[in-house]
Structure 1
């Protein structure tokens, strides 16, 4: 009976360790996310809204990403994403943080079809970039 308990306990611990060691990608992060709006660092007379097909987007696949500006790949690599407890940023609350392979960390507000990346706070020359899932 003790052996059955030990084996069962060992299997539970093993499965727990394996499942916890997998890096979360966040709910529905995989795919292409195209830029739709930037808040902060606005230039007078320049529209902060972006139409579909503008060439500014992220592609996420598992733990890898590619970033495109004007249709050209400008960055790629790996990332990790961590759940957060409603971190206040500007007038919103981030529910994740993302750390890219270069060490850059940003807070993220992620929903089914919208991703907001917070690069600092707007009051301190930061930006808030809103992306739509394609």
Structure 2
């Protein structure tokens, strides 16, 4: 009987500890996204690229200041404007769950675009859809 009790406790512990570890997920809102974020990983697109050896070709930064954003490459701003964060139906994309989108209202020639957005610790994840459909997921780190 003692062995059975220990086995049951072990199994319960195993099942409880196997849950998805999203403890570091943060609510994405205007306050939590503020600051400078540098691109650290790109997954998807025409060629799947996600490797510890992958080097981002140049410094790619997104800066959020109030309700404005700037996209910067090698110190040069190439896109800027306003943005808003909206709640959407939860969607899983390549193993990540998203419940928010960020809408970039670019004041340069790029126009308006939207991406799924999520925060996990000091990582900002932006996704334009599944890699199976030539989507891209970029992971930025707060700097």
TM-score for both structures, normalised by structure 2: 0.65
Unaligned runs of 5+ in 2: 1-27, 106-110
Call closer, same or farther: CA 1:114–1:43 in 2, change over 3 Å.
Answer: closer
Structure 1: which 5+ runs fail to align? 1-23
Q: How many residues align?
A: 108
- Distance change >3 Å, CA 27–CA 49, structure 1 → 2: farther
CA distance in 2, matches of 1:49, 1:40: 15
1:48 to 45, 54, 62: 54
Which residue is equivalent to 1:66? Answer: 70
Change (3 A) 1:48 1:96: farther
Tell me if 1:82 matches 2:79: no
Paired residue for 1:110?
119
Partners of 1:73 and 1:126 lie apart in 2 by: 24
Shift, 1:85, TM fit: 5.2
Taking the aligned partners of 2:55 and 2:95, their CA distance within structure 1 comes to 19
Contact 1:32 1:57 in 2 (8 A): yes
**Residue 132 of structure 2: SS of its match in structure 1?**
helix
Q: TM-score, normalised by structure 1?
A: 0.69
Bigger mean CA offset, 122-131 vs 34-43:
34-43
Over residues 41-72 of structure 1, what are the superposed CA-to-partner deviations in whole Å (9 max), with x where a residue is unaligned?
A: 3378x953449xx5211000111000012322
* C-alpha RMSD over aligned residues: 2.5
Kindly indicate whether residue 39 of structure 2 is the aligned counterpart of residue 35 of structure 1. yes
- Contact kept, 8 Å, 1:55 with 1:69, in 2: the verdict is yes
**CA distance 1:110–1:69, shift in 2 (3 Å):** same
